[in-house]
A and B are shown apart, each in its own frame.
Chain A
Amino acid sequence: MAVRGSRLRLYLRPDVVLINVIAWGIALVWLLPFIGLFMVSVRPYGEVIVRGWWNIAGATFTMDNYIKAWGHESYSIAQGYMNSLIVALPSTVIPIITASLAAYAFSRFSFPLKSYLFLTIILLMALPQQIVVVPLFLAMRSLGLVNTFPGIILVHSGWGMAWIIFFMKNFFDLLPREVEEAAKVDGASDFKIFYKIVLPLSLPGILSASVLQFTWVWSSFFFELIFLVDPSKWVITQRIASMKGEYLVDWGLIAAGSVFAMAVPLLVYVLLQKYYIRGFMGWTVKG
């Protein structure tokens, strides 16, 4: 009670009141674009353009924009959802498994050139995607992998590898070694120790890395622009980017498509916030 009382008194001080007003003012400004986007998405565009989305008096609310976007004849969001999932799920699972194996080796074993390899891995994290796409496109075109989901999945898997190795290595470094040594004395081989002991204990780390990798692949745009040219293969980001016509812009349709596109990462973020932030901090602060 005493603590609560003193907290309350703190909040009533004039400077602290001012701070609260500023902080919430900024939060409101930051939220405004999303409110606007949402308002535009649930109202007929004609009404919005005449009266403004901020004008709620006598507003009509409708799901028309969502229905139109979901089944859009050239940029169907439904198909985009499907394609994005087909790309994002394997592009998460494959690198998480392979990178975790490598990260474990970096964390626990000593081998030749280890520190140089690890330095290389961290350096790769800084590279822009632009540095790989030209030769990759040419090679994949000759292999018939352009415009295919396996092709883009390979690209995402390889591209995500570096940061996941880095992240998981830091995670493994924090696991107690005694448990693995106990398993070693108990007769387990290195691979058995990895999948019977280390993997189950690393689930929080794996989940963090997966959550981040999945939302990044879901949100990815540049690789898709290069490797998925055929509109039927387009993922969701490509579809909403194309919804804006050159001359006539139907903001209602774009807004609804945008809400669809960000719903998945937002949902992942809200449901798995703890893991999302942990992964995010592992990606930045430790690095």
Chain B
Amino acid sequence: MGEVFLDGVVKRFGRVTAVNGVTLRIRDGEFFVLLGPSGCGKTTTLRLIAGLEFPDEGRIYIDGEDVTYKDPKDRNVAMVFQNYALYPHMTVFDNIAFPLYMRRRELGLTKEEIRKRVVEVARLLRIDDLLNRKPGQLSGGQQQRVALARALVRRPRVWLMDEPLSNLDALLRLAMRAELKKLQKDLGITTVYVTHDQAEAMSMADRIAVMNEGRVVQVGSPEDVYLEPRHVFVATFIGAPPMNLIECKIVEGVGPNPALECPGFTRPLPGDAARVVEARGIKSVYLGVRPEFIAISKAETPGSIPGIVYVVEPLGSEHVVNVNIGEDTILKVKVLGLREKLRPGDKVYLNIDWSKVKIFDKATGEVLA
């Protein structure tokens, strides 16, 4: 129970179109993440599902029921806010009990049953010793748990979360990611989770919708969006460091297919890409390659691309080596444990795993192959 369907939803604020024709089908029990930079419309989409905003166009369904213009209280959804939005004048107990008290009559709950459910959910989140405190007396992590408990206590159809971890410090945030994910799987509640942090999205989501400028750019599993980005925007937004983009020109090739002329090297276009390029008359493209699909070596091998080490960023277990391959094009290369010491100015040779390379149309940003 808890399938959400957005059908061509549009929301405008004055002249600004915050959400521009979003269609999404969120499956029952799924951990679904809306990912994108600030201002991309992800929070507005979440608020539309919550009923805090109403769309200008399109329809919203929960479990097949049209809830487009229903008030939040009639949707049976729960929401966790970025700053938790705990009721500052109520105890932790009253905060968690609040949604139950609001529905007391329709759920037919007695005071005792409410108490039992609050204690139960508080125990689940290990805040049962804090029930008599006020939110102001709690740490950030504890407030977070209270907010989660309040959203859990009435067993909603859908759980909505607006960057719930962004106010926690780094260490706690990592711990809460795992815990939240486990909680969601154990309870099986459909969850729509908004974040701008791609690492958070990758580590928690069953599926991710990447949004930009009010539109959904791509929907897919974390692997999909990471390995098969459908757009330059997804390629550069996901991954740290992001995908390398090399600007290349389409030129006359030696064989029947055209070739790619890139800084430092030239290479024939693969067959499927060549067909699209010719059909659309595309003149320049981006060659996209993730930093871990480039091998670095001090020795030249056939087909390797020469370059000069620009800077080396050590990141603990791995290093990111920035290599200048000419024409101010710098490629980031991820290396697990450096066998040889590399210094800025060293001459190196790069080998790209061509099977993992994506080609994007420079004009539209769409993937070609």
The answer to whether A and B belong to the same complex is yes
Chain A positions near chain B (C-beta within 8 angstroms): 176, 178-179, 181-189, 192, 196-197, 200-201
Stretch at the interface among B73-81, B276-284, B352-360: B73-81
Known: A184-B52, A188-B102. A176 touches B72 (CB 8 A): no
- Report how far A196 CA is from B94 CA in the complex, Å: 11
- Does B155 make an interface contact (CB < 8 A)? no
* Shortest Cβ gap from B213 to chain A (Å): 25
Whether the pair B78, A185 counts as a contact (CB closer than 8 A) is yes
Which of chain A's residues has its CB closest to B52's CB?
A: A181
Whether the pair A186, B88 counts as a contact (CB closer than 8 A) is no
Whether the pair B87, A197 counts as a contact (CB closer than 8 A) is yes
Whether the pair B72, A178 counts as a contact (CB closer than 8 A) is no
Minimum-distance CB pairs A-B, first 7: A187-B102, A178-B85, A182-B85, A186-B99, A187-B73, A200-B89, A185-B79
* Shortest Cβ gap from A272 to chain B (Å): 20
Whether the pair B72, A179 counts as a contact (CB closer than 8 A) is no
List B41-89 residues whose CB lies under 8 Å from chain A. Answer: 50-52, 71-73, 77-79, 81-83, 85-89
* 22 pairs, CB–CB < 8 Å, chain A vs chain B: A176-B85, A178-B82, A178-B83, A179-B88, A182-B79, A182-B81, A183-B98, A184-B51, A184-B71, A184-B73, A185-B72, A185-B73, A185-B77, A185-B78, A185-B160, A186-B73, A186-B78, A186-B99, A187-B102, A188-B98, A196-B98, A197-B87
- Report how far A192 CA is from B98 CA in the complex, Å: 11
- Does B111 make an interface contact (CB < 8 A)? no
- Does B343 make an interface contact (CB < 8 A)? no
- Does B103 make an interface contact (CB < 8 A)? yes
- Does B150 make an interface contact (CB < 8 A)? yes
- Report how far A192 CA is from B86 CA in the complex, Å: 16
Chain B positions near chain A (C-beta within 8 angstroms): 50-52, 71-73, 77-79, 81-83, 85-89, 98-99, 102-103, 150, 154, 160
The residues of B that contact A184 with a CB separation of less than 8 Å are: 51-52, 71-73
Whether the pair A187, B103 counts as a contact (CB closer than 8 A) is yes
The residues of A that contact B72 with a CB separation of less than 8 Å are: 184-185, 187
The residues of B that contact A181 with a CB separation of less than 8 Å are: 50, 52, 79, 81, 85
* Shortest Cβ gap from A182 to chain B (Å): 4
Q: Which of A182, A192, A201 has the most CB of B within 10 A?
A: A182
Whether the pair B87, A179 counts as a contact (CB closer than 8 A) is yes
The residues of A that contact B51 with a CB separation of less than 8 Å are: 184-185
Known: A183-B98, A184-B71, A189-B73. 11 other contacts (CB 8 A): A178-B81, A178-B83, A181-B52, A182-B150, A185-B52, A185-B77, A186-B78, A186-B98, A187-B72, A187-B73, A188-B73
* Shortest Cβ gap from B237 to chain A (Å): 26
The residues of A that contact B86 with a CB separation of less than 8 Å are: 179, 182
- Report how far A103 CA is from B203 CA in the complex, Å: 45
Whether the pair A187, B85 counts as a contact (CB closer than 8 A) is no
The residues of B that contact A182 with a CB separation of less than 8 Å are: 79, 81, 85-87, 150
* Shortest Cβ gap from A202 to chain B (Å): 10
- Report how far A263 CA is from B73 CA in the complex, Å: 50
The residues of B that contact A200 with a CB separation of less than 8 Å are: 89
Whether the pair B102, A186 counts as a contact (CB closer than 8 A) is yes
- Report how far A185 CA is from B52 CA in the complex, Å: 8
The residues of A that contact B81 with a CB separation of less than 8 Å are: 178, 181-182
The residues of A that contact B150 with a CB separation of less than 8 Å are: 182, 186
Question: Quick one: which of B50, B77, B83, B103 contacts A176, CB cutoff 8 A?
Answer: B83
Question: Quick one: which of B50, B87, B103, B154 contacts A183, CB cutoff 8 A?
Answer: B87
* Shortest Cβ gap from A128 to chain B (Å): 40
Whether the pair A179, B102 counts as a contact (CB closer than 8 A) is no
- Report how far A276 CA is from B71 CA in the complex, Å: 39
- Report how far A184 CA is from B99 CA in the complex, Å: 9
Whether the pair A192, B89 counts as a contact (CB closer than 8 A) is no
The residues of B that contact A185 with a CB separation of less than 8 Å are: 50-52, 72-73, 77-79, 160
- Report how far A192 CA is from B102 CA in the complex, Å: 9
* Shortest Cβ gap from B105 to chain A (Å): 11
- Report how far A181 CA is from B102 CA in the complex, Å: 14
Which of chain A's residues has its CB closest to B47's CB?
A: A181
Which of chain A's residues has its CB closest to B50's CB?
A: A185
Whether the pair A201, B85 counts as a contact (CB closer than 8 A) is no
Known: A178-B83, A184-B72, A189-B73. A201 touches B89 (CB 8 A): yes
* Shortest Cβ gap from B164 to chain A (Å): 12
The residues of A that contact B154 with a CB separation of less than 8 Å are: 187
- Report how far A52 CA is from B154 CA in the complex, Å: 77
- Report how far A183 CA is from B150 CA in the complex, Å: 10
The residues of B that contact A189 with a CB separation of less than 8 Å are: 73
- Report how far A38 CA is from B50 CA in the complex, Å: 64
Which of chain A's residues has its CB closest to B160's CB?
A: A185
- Report how far A188 CA is from B82 CA in the complex, Å: 20
* Shortest Cβ gap from B6 to chain A (Å): 18
The residues of A that contact B83 with a CB separation of less than 8 Å are: 176, 178
Question: Quick one: which of B50, B88, B98 contacts A201, CB cutoff 8 A?
Answer: B88
Whether the pair A179, B85 counts as a contact (CB closer than 8 A) is yes
- Report how far A182 CA is from B88 CA in the complex, Å: 12
Which of chain A's residues has its CB closest to B94's CB?
A: A196
* Shortest Cβ gap from A190 to chain B (Å): 9
* Shortest Cβ gap from B190 to chain A (Å): 15
* Shortest Cβ gap from A250 to chain B (Å): 52
- Report how far A181 CA is from B99 CA in the complex, Å: 12
Q: Which of B52, B77, B86, B160 has the most CB of A within 10 A?
A: B52
Q: Which of B86, B98, B160 has the most CB of A within 10 A?
A: B98
- Report how far A81 CA is from B73 CA in the complex, Å: 49
Which of chain B's residues has its CB closest to A177's CB?
A: B85
- Report how far A187 CA is from B79 CA in the complex, Å: 11
Q: Which of B81, B85, B99 has the most CB of A within 10 A?
A: B85
- Report how far A176 CA is from B71 CA in the complex, Å: 20
